[in-house]
A and B are shown apart, each in its own frame.
Chain A
Amino acid sequence: MKIRWSRTILLLTPATLLAAMLFVYPVFGVLSLTVHDGTSFTGEPIRQVFNSQLSIIVLQRTFVTAATVTLICLLMGYPMAYFMAGLSPRKRVLATYLILLPFWISVLIRTYTWIILLGREGILNKALVAIGLTAEPIQLLYTPFAVHIGMVQILLPIVILTCLTSILDVERDLVKAARILGATPAQAFWKVLFPLSVSGAATGGIICFILCLGFFVTPTLLGGRTSLLIANLIDLQVHKTLKWDLAAVMASAMLAATFTCLLAYWMLTRKRAEFATGGLAR
């Protein structure tokens, strides 16, 4: 098809301008802050961030938390998706609606709910004391546990749905073929369905991981001092200590991490497309 340039430019201009103004320009602003102090180039901010124990610990914690939450989401989400894939189409649609239901409630409210559930006087502690498992209420809120559970709750639907798509993408006849050729249901799953859907599940995991890196509300509300994540630290540097250059270095580090993940995502989806189309995508 012949591309009509005048029309293409006309259609793309508003979005491009908006993105340039509100995304590209600020991102370059942030990037330049990391190496330029307004008058001359400097390595000081980068050195400061990577010499500071606090920022190293928080960076590490952010990655570990993101990895843990992603793993929990995958371990819970894939079996759920597998169950949904076995439902009749009508029931599957219903299940999908149920899974998407939490999206109708804001992240803030969903996070506050955990305060009610996990607090000293919360339902969980009252139940634990009532059945005698503990004499005193235990500290659940403002712990890494609370942050993890809050993040999992928010991200799980995304992981379930990407896993579901990847399982449904596997041609149904392949599992049938495995069975008639002698595979038990378990063998058919591990030898055929799982290897063919795992890369799709992994792309879901990557999306989940990227979203985890930027979590702010959940660690702020549910985490204590010891579960601050990088977003909280950036916020602190911007609003409290006013060290924008340090904030910029941290933000850029997260940006680099995200791009690395996106690269992995792109490579995975390309491989999947190759399988799905029999190599036509190459």
Chain B
Amino acid sequence: MTSAGATIDFKNVRKTYGKFVALEDFSMRVEGGEFMTLLGASGSGKTTALNSLAGFVDIDGGEILIDGVPITKLPTEKRDIGMVFQNYSLFPHRSVIRNISFPLEMRGVARDEARRRSFKALEMVRLDSLANRMPHELSGGQKQRVAFARAVVFEPRVLLMDEPLGALDLKLRETLQLEIKEYQRQIGCTVIYVTHDQSEALTLSDRMAVMDKGRVLQIGTPEQLYDRPQSRFVAGFVGSNNILKVQSVEEGFMTLEGLGRFKGDGRHLIPGGFVSIRPELITIRHGGSGAHMAHLSEAVFFGNSVRYILRAADSKEISAIEHRRPGQDVLPLGTAVAFDLDTSDLVPLLD
């Protein structure tokens, strides 16, 4: 069960519902075999983008191409796309094996051949023992695996996944994330995956696009989006982050609003502009004294790390994550600590 993934091009796609603009000048290229995630809050247009590729919504402008061929005039069933839905959407009146063979049946594959291929797909998701169960007899994770097998059994070159793990609990979600990634590598199809869960996007994607108000704000590898967010929205949406305002930049020094003067090069920063810095890049010195002092106003224990909220002298808050060794106690609230940051870690944000 392999298929060379197809390239997908969204070109200036526009979709409105009355006054609500769901997609505005939406352009994106997904390479063959790539795992692309659309990340955004609800109403950001990510599901509309997926639905317009699937043919569930008619777009108002622009064009969508699969392998360079325009598909917006093709009816849904002719697009040859696999899809996994958030609520599984297994046919309740069909057994597991007959759910999986449905796409083959629709393509006129002979019964024996369809059965053989369906079993192979079911083996891939390791549920071959449940072939004759009805969907309502399955657990959530099993349903999602069956839905996945059904979506890839006909070897589509494009697979769409619309928040496929949204209804599952965290532990199962993490297991299935790994499985999905593994199956995709085996099959080789192009995947467009929609989620509002940024950690899921970081885990799964080859590349990811952060969407807001019907537009792509930034597109890149998970590392690029994590390390170099371009806007305040992306900086705040992907991972946890400190967003700070640059007050002034002098030779060899710079001042961050509410935090004070830091030694270091600030030539890449603009006074009055915003910067972000990850909590794990803020260093804390326990009990010591230094140029920058703060009080702990909150501490969250994660096991392998502790996240502290530091309140600086003029009440500006900044969060810091500290890796923790066994036996190391979480500092009591109110403790005075010294903190520091490397100004070259500050990422300038465009807005």
Contacts and interface: CB of A to CB of B under 8 A. Distances in A.
B54 interface: yes
A174 interface: yes
Contact of B77 (A179, A192, A196): A179
Contacts of A113: none
A67 interface: no
B83 interface: yes
A142 B259 CA distance: 95
A180 B79 contact: yes
Interface in B62-95: 75-77, 79-83, 85, 87, 89, 91-93
B48 to A, nearest CB: 14
B154 A182 contact: yes
A85 interface: no
B87 A173 contact: yes
A196 B103 contact: no
Interface in A159-194: 171, 173-174, 176-184, 187, 191-192
A171 B88 CA distance: 11
Interface centre among A171, A182, A191 (most CB of B within 10 A): A182
Interface footprint category on B: 20 to 34
B93 A179 contact: no
Contacts of A41: none
Nearest to B150: A181
Nearest to A182: B106
A195 interface: yes
Given A174-B91, A176-B89, A177-B83, A182 B135 contact: no
Given A173-B87, A187-B106, A180 B76 contact: yes
A177 B136 contact: no
Given A180-B54, A182-B107, A278 B135 contact: yes
Category for how many chain A residues contact B: 20 to 34
B176 to A, nearest CB: 19
B76 A179 contact: yes
Given A181-B106, A182-B103, A184-B77, A196 B92 contact: yes
A173 B160 CA distance: 14
A174 B93 CA distance: 11
Contacts of B80: 182
Most buried by B among A179, A181, A196, A277: A181
B275 to A, nearest CB: 43
Interface string A238-280: 0000000000000000000000000000000000001101110
Contacts of A182: 77, 80, 102-103, 106-107, 154
Contacts of B107: 182
B14 to A, nearest CB: 22
A268 to B, nearest CB: 14
B301 interface: no
A135 to B, nearest CB: 52
B182 interface: no
Interface in A36-76: none
A275 B103 contact: no
B136 A174 contact: no
Given A181-B150, A184-B77, A171 B89 contact: yes
The listed residue with most B CB atoms (<10 A of its CB), out of A171, A176, A180, A195, is A180
Contacts of A173: 85, 87, 89
A71 B87 CA distance: 35
B137 interface: yes
B56 interface: yes
A166 to B, nearest CB: 13
Interface in B85-142: 85, 87, 89, 91-93, 102-103, 106-107, 134-137
B13 to A, nearest CB: 18
B92 A177 contact: no
Given A179-B77, A278-B136, 4 more contacts: A177-B91, A180-B79, A181-B150, A182-B106
24 contacts: A171-B89, A174-B92, A176-B85, A177-B83, A177-B85, A179-B55, A179-B75, A180-B77, A180-B82, A180-B160, A181-B77, A181-B106, A181-B154, A182-B77, A182-B102, A182-B154, A183-B77, A183-B102, A184-B77, A187-B77, A191-B102, A192-B91, A196-B91, A274-B136
Interface of A: 171, 173-174, 176-184, 187, 191-192, 195-196, 274-275, 277-279
Top 8 closest A-B pairs, CB basis?
A182-B106, A279-B136, A278-B136, A181-B103, A177-B89, A179-B76, A173-B89, A180-B83
